[in-house]
Amino acid sequence: MSTPILEVRDLVKLYAAATAVAGVSFSVPAGICFGLLGPNGAGKTTTIEMMEGILPPTSGQVLYRGETLGTRFRQEAGILFQKTALQDFLTVRQSIALFRGLYDRGLTVDEVLRLCALEKLASRDNRKLSGGQQQRLLLAIALVNDPAVLFLDEPTTGLDPQARRNFWELVQSIKAQRKTIILTTHYMEEAELLCDDIVILDHGRIVAQGPPRRLLHEHFAQVLLELPRQDFPAAARALPLNILESSDRIEITTDNLEATLRTLLAAQVPLGHLRIRPANLEDLFLELTGTELRT
Amino acid sequence: MIHRLLAVLHARNLEFLRDRSTLIFTLLLPVLLVIGMGFVFGGPERPLFKVGVVAPHIDPAAHPFLRERYVEFIPLPQAAQALEKVRHQQVDLLVDLTEPPRYWVNTDSPKGYIVEQLLLAAAPAAHREPVSGAALRYVDWLFPGILGMNMMFSCLFGVGYVVLRYRKSGFLKRLYATPLSAFEFLSAQVLSRLGLILFVTVILYAGIGAIIGFHNAGSTLLLLLLACVGALSMIALGLTIAARFSSEELVGGLLNLLTWPMMLLSGIWFSLEGSPRWVQWVAHVFPLTHVLDAARAVMLDGAGLAQIAPQLLFLGATALAFLAFGAWSFRWRID
């Protein structure tokens, strides 16, 4: 088996008041999109920043192509942080040119502008970009060195749906070039669309690891039935079914669809607004990390 | 390495040149100060005679002349330096009252003539040594101080706040994720600021020379070298403050803690001659004191490279020491 492009071994990060990451190990094969998922405070950003070499771990190791992070990693990695400010008074082109000048090799500024659809914004002051344009510029900067591995830390947080979909298309085109992508995200739809392999973190530990389809198959042999809450009579809550209530809907999980439907019909539950769907990554996420609010 | 340094240098220069309000303020403040100070202090001299006495201190009982009213007697133990003051008419007359009494008077100075008559009335046998030289205006003496003060603020606050802003905004953290080293980043900041300061200083030197004129008895190239080494030392001092901290209040406080003593004790506005020895000792800890001592020696007395070598060495050594400390303690990100 070939050496993974990135390998994380027993990574721990302790702060004075808390344990951010409590012994995490996984490896990332080259050419895939690898997702780090988890609720707020689960340790995603701390883990990715240790993988980027930005944050020193308390213990454990991160290996890039079998070696500890060093000059080669810095030359071959592209990084998009959760929050980044650029130098004031520079245009989009000049901002990209600044970062291009920091690497020994990479794409030309024009190639990067074209790749991220920024040609028409090349002369604009980088402070006068919309949220989506700003993220495209930061992605362009992360791509100037034509990286072998690209880190994206919650890249679409705060973007409107159009900008988010536009960004996903960009990431998919980068993925098509067989580059390795490490992605953290809150959006399960994003992870489901982009990631080939995921790790779900909670309280600094891995609670699930593997390709999304396999994880769903392992955790959900059943299907989900959704009904509006107002359509579900109070008496029906006593039925021998696996019922989960939320503010506006009732979710029933079952591995015998026909029998469940018969039970509901016998209890005279109106099924006009019934929706049947397979479990998705969000269901898996909630099942593994719970539904209580994280601060 | 050089291409990384040049990329950061170029971007920093663009950032500064496009920040028009800061650029205009940087150029305008010292011009206004020089014109203002020249206007306030460049008028007629105060109606008081100043007589230098070649002695470590003044004892009025030692000679009747030392009891004259309306005359300020200043002890000047170093005869050679005292003579320069007579040449520049900074004192109206210099007297050595040890037997046989001698005095030096500037033949171009009207006040020197009057105070000479007072001396001859009290000591008719005193031997006359004529000296000549044009009067030194306060503005000539002040001019190096203004240039030095402008350099000091630009070096300390310009670099200190820029690095702090980069750190707080996360821009430094983004640079840390690239192959750029702390030394390359700091060198680019130093060079960018040095280029800017030299540019502004040259413009001010030429502009103020054209507006109000000033006296320069020495080499302009030597002054440029001095500005270069002095600015390096003060930029590096600014970097030591900005290298580590993330709080604007703390960095602002520390920079004020440095600039105010330098403003008061480095001899920008007035000479420290006659002040207590400990004050002079403290003043010589500051790079600006050495810049101003050397600049005035070149501009007013025509000093050459050899005469200002001690100041150049001090400034060069402190520049290296501050830069090494800054690079060693540099933090890319907020912990």
Q: Contact B173/A84, CB-based, under 8 Å?
A: yes
The pLDDT of residue A290 is 67
CA-closest candidate to residue B71, choices B111, B100, B30, B130: B111
Mean pLDDT of B189-218: 83
Residues A11 and A94 in one domain: yes
Domain harbouring A47, CATH code: 3.40.50.300
Place A93 in a pLDDT band, splitting at 50, 70 and 90: very high
Mutate to test the interface with A, among B10, B173, B183, B335 (most CBs of A within 10 A): B173
Mean pLDDT of B222-244: 91
* Burial class, A137, CB count within 10 angstroms (exposed 0-12 / middle 13-18 / buried 19+): buried
Convert the pLDDT of each residue in A157-183 to its tens digit: 877 888 888 888 888 988 888 899 999
Chain B nearest-CA distance from A45, in A, is 14
Place A138 in a pLDDT band, splitting at 50, 70 and 90: very high
Residue B252 scores a pLDDT above 70: yes
Tell me the three state secondary structure of residue B105: strand
> Residue A18: inside a domain, yes or no?
yes
The pLDDT of residue A142 is 92
> Residue A73: inside a domain, yes or no?
yes
What residue type is assigned to position A145 of the chain? N
Tell me the three state secondary structure of residue B251: helix
> Residue A48: inside a domain, yes or no?
yes
Chain A contacts of B171, Cβ < 8 Å?
84-87
Residues A204 and A252 in one domain: no
CA atoms within 13 A on the CB side of A58: 13
Chain A contacts of B19, Cβ < 8 Å?
88-89
Instruction: Give me the residue label for tokens 């220069």.
Output: B13
Token pair belonging to B301: 């007395």
Identify which has the larger pLDDT, B317 or B76.
B317
- Domain final residue pick, A211, A235, A250: A211
B42-63 burial by CB neighbour count: b if 16+ within 10 A, else e? eeeeeeebbbbbbbeeeeeeeb
The residue count of chain B comes to 335
Number of separate domains in chain A: 2
> Residue A284: inside a domain, yes or no?
no
Residues A246 and A203 in one domain: no
- Domain final residue pick, A193, A211, A229: A211
Place B47 in a pLDDT band, splitting at 50, 70 and 90: very low
Mean pLDDT of A116-145: 90
Residues A34 and A108 in one domain: yes
Token pair belonging to B139: 């503005």
Out of A54, A83, A97, name the one closest to residue B177 (CB): A54
Residues A12 and A105 in one domain: yes
Q: What is the ipTM of this complex?
A: 0.79
The answer to whether A81 contacts chain B (CB < 8 Å) is yes
Out of B3, B15, B178, name the one closest to residue A89 (CB): B15
> Residue A290: inside a domain, yes or no?
no
- Domain final residue pick, A164, A192, A211: A211
Residues A127 and A249 in one domain: no
Rg (CA), chain A: 22
Contact criterion met (CB below 8 Å) for A79 and B177? yes
Partners of residue A226 on adjacent β-strands: A251, A275
> Residue A204: inside a domain, yes or no?
yes
Tell me the three state secondary structure of residue B87: helix
Token pair belonging to B326: 């800054």
The pLDDT of residue B45 is 47
Residues A136 and A271 in one domain: no
Chain A nearest-CA distance from B147, in A, is 28
Asked if omega into B100 is within 30° of 0 (cis), the reply is: yes
Domain harbouring A235, CATH code: 3.30.70
The pLDDT of residue A107 is 92
Place B274 in a pLDDT band, splitting at 50, 70 and 90: low
Residues A179 and A89 in one domain: yes
Convert the pLDDT of each residue in A58-89 to its tens digit: 999 999 999 999 889 999 999 998 888 888 88
Residues A185 and A228 in one domain: no
Place B242 in a pLDDT band, splitting at 50, 70 and 90: confident
Mutate to test the interface with B, among A46, A84, A98 (most CBs of B within 10 A): A98
Token pair belonging to B152: 């000091």
Residues A207 and A233 in one domain: no
> Residue A216: inside a domain, yes or no?
no
Domains and CATH numbers, chain B: 2-40+137-328 (no CATH), 49-131 (3.40.190)
CA-closest candidate to residue B144, choices B136, B133, B132, B135: B136
What's chain B's average pLDDT?
A: 83
In chain A, what percentage of residues exceed pLDDT 90? 38
Residues A73 and A202 in one domain: yes
Structural domain for A181, as ranges: 6-211
Place B265 in a pLDDT band, splitting at 50, 70 and 90: confident
CA atoms within 13 A on the CB side of A124: 13
Q: Contact B15/A52, CB-based, under 8 Å?
A: no
CB contacts < 8 A (A, B) = 70
Residues A53 and A196 in one domain: yes
> Residue A114: inside a domain, yes or no?
yes
Q: Contact A101/B7, CB-based, under 8 Å?
A: yes
Give chain B's contact residues with A (Cβ, < 8 Å): 3-4, 6-8, 10-12, 14-15, 18-19, 166, 169-171, 173-180, 333
Residue of B nearest to A70 (CA): B179
Convert the pLDDT of each residue in A9-37 to its tens digit: 999 999 887 888 998 999 999 999 999 98
Chain A contacts of B175, Cβ < 8 Å?
102
Chain A nearest-CA distance from B227, in A, is 28
Residue B335 scores a pLDDT above 70: no
CA-closest candidate to residue B97, choices B126, B69, B121: B126
Chain B nearest-CA distance from A102, in A, is 5
Look up the pTM and report it: 0.73
Place B4 in a pLDDT band, splitting at 50, 70 and 90: confident
Integer CA distances (angstroms), A228 to A231, A255, A268, B196, in order: 5, 21, 15, 68
